[in-house]
Amino acid sequence: MLDLPISLQMAGLGLIIGAAFGATARLAEFCTLGAIADACLAADRRRLRSWLLAIAVAILLTQAMASGGLIDLDRAIYLTPDFSWFGAIVGGLCFGYGMALVGTCGYGSLVRLGSGDLRYLVGFIVLAVTAYMTLRGLFGVVRISFIEPTNIQLDAVGSQSLVDALAYLSNSSAELLRWPVVLLLVAGLLIYCWQDAGFRQSRAAIFGGLAMGVLVSSGWFATGVLGADAFEPAPLRSLTFVTPVGEALVYLMTFTGATANFGIGSVFGVVLGAFLVSWSKGELRIEGFDGRRELLRHLAGASLMGFGGVTALGCTIGQGLTGLSTLSLSAPIAFASIFVGAWAGLRYLATGSVWARA
């Protein structure tokens, strides 16, 4: 493996980690929209607590690697001094609402595609095209003209890390503050998770939270440690499923002139992992659209997710787990906006109006 180009090594590791991610999602029913729907519509917060457990594990392991000097989180896109607060809000709302229309998020679409649901093949293509249009194409004009001018430059702080911001405000060392902040956040999340008897009795919820948190941290380790080649260092990244979906589609279309990377490998890995679990359980089913209305809803939702995910710098995984593990200031804003957007979308689907009374 050491004789392979570093980009190909990272793609292979992305495939392995992505496959484990897809398999875990399929086994544990780890779904963001499902967690939001359960919490808002059924008062069942077990899957939401599973998500919070994953956040706690990802924060703890990622910050331990950063503190130990294994990875330099300042190289991550989430901690650049360019603080896109408005993009996190607008993008998060768009992504969350689109997620409700589609019935799942970006990585959830890949999981369902791997399980045989061809509706999400359409969603994959639309999400990929819209994401790439927002990153480099026509929709990028909107992002550059209306979103980026609102960004706040945090050069004096050094990055948009919560730890760096607190260190700047208190005129103290970021390393001295890192572990008090991390332990306070992790302890709060764990206490909230474990105080619910239903969650404590749900092996699937606990397994899903622990596994997803470990896998997000594994992405940082793969690109930051194993990818730290002296001559060709890999970009520091972990799991996210918006821009890499666009890159994966471009890779499929331009294979001979394209270069694989960690994100592309993780996209194909999620589909593979979900497929293997569905096949082994005898739950592989070919499904399609029931009618025109469902098709239009998926097209609109996937488009909103593609635009929103790039604008917010991540999806439910990219900001909701990976971004939060870096303690980025934009991550909780984006994640909260995704939650609100998804709630609004679910309300619309259930009542025909976002503002309808319960």
Residue by residue, DSSP assigns 132-190 as HHHHHSHHHHHIIIIIGGGPEE-TTTSSSBHHHHHHHHHTS-HHHHHHHHHHHHHHHHH
Q: Hey, which residues does 82 pair with through a beta bridge? A: 153
168, 208, 218, 248 from 266: Cα distances, Å? 36, 18, 12, 9
What pLDDT, on the 0 to 100 scale, is given for residue 353? 76
By percentage, how much of the chain surpasses pLDDT 90? 86
* DSSP code of residue 151: P
| Res 113 pLDDT > 70 | yes
8 Å CB contact between 47 and 35: yes
Token representation of residue 36? 């939001």
> What residue type is 85 in one-letter code?
W
25, 90, 298, 358 from 31: Cα distances, Å? 7, 22, 17, 24
326 pLDDT band, cuts 50/70/90, is: very high
Tokens 């359409």 sit at which residue? 122
| Res 64 pLDDT > 70 | yes
Tell me the pLDDT tens digit for each residue of 145-180.
Answer: 999 999 999 999 989 999 999 999 999 999 999 999
Q: Give the separation between CA 269 and CA 114, rounded to whole angstroms.
A: 10
> Which one has a higher pLDDT value, 259 or 264?
264
345 half-sphere exposure, CB direction, 13 A CA radius = 30
What pLDDT, on the 0 to 100 scale, is given for residue 179? 96
How confident is the model over 218-229, as a mean pLDDT? 94
79, 107, 181, 214, 272 from 110: Cα distances, Å? 27, 5, 34, 20, 9
Token representation of residue 211? 């596994």
How confident is the model over 54-58, as a mean pLDDT? 98
4 pLDDT band, cuts 50/70/90, is: confident
| Res 327 pLDDT > 60 | yes
Q: Give the separation between CA 323 and CA 58, rounded to whole angstroms.
A: 10
- Angle in degrees, CA 46, 212, 319, rounded to 5: 90
How many CB atoms sit inside 10 A of residue 60's CB?
18
What pLDDT, on the 0 to 100 scale, is given for residue 201? 94
How many CB atoms sit inside 10 A of residue 28's CB?
21
8 Å CB contact between 272 and 11: no
Report the first-to-last Cα separation within the chain, whole angstroms.
57
Token representation of residue 306? 């593609």
pTM metric for this prediction:
0.94
8 Å CB contact between 314 and 106: no
What pLDDT, on the 0 to 100 scale, is given for residue 185? 97
Q: Is 280 exposed, middle or buried (0-12, 13-18, 19+ CB in 10 A)?
A: exposed
How confident is the model over 220-237, as a mean pLDDT? 90
How confident is the model over 133-145, as a mean pLDDT? 93
Backbone CA torsion sign across 172, 175, 178, 180: negative
277 half-sphere exposure, CB direction, 13 A CA radius = 21
Q: Taking all residues of the chain, what is their mean pLDDT, rounded to a whole number?
A: 93
> What residue type is 111 in one-letter code?
V
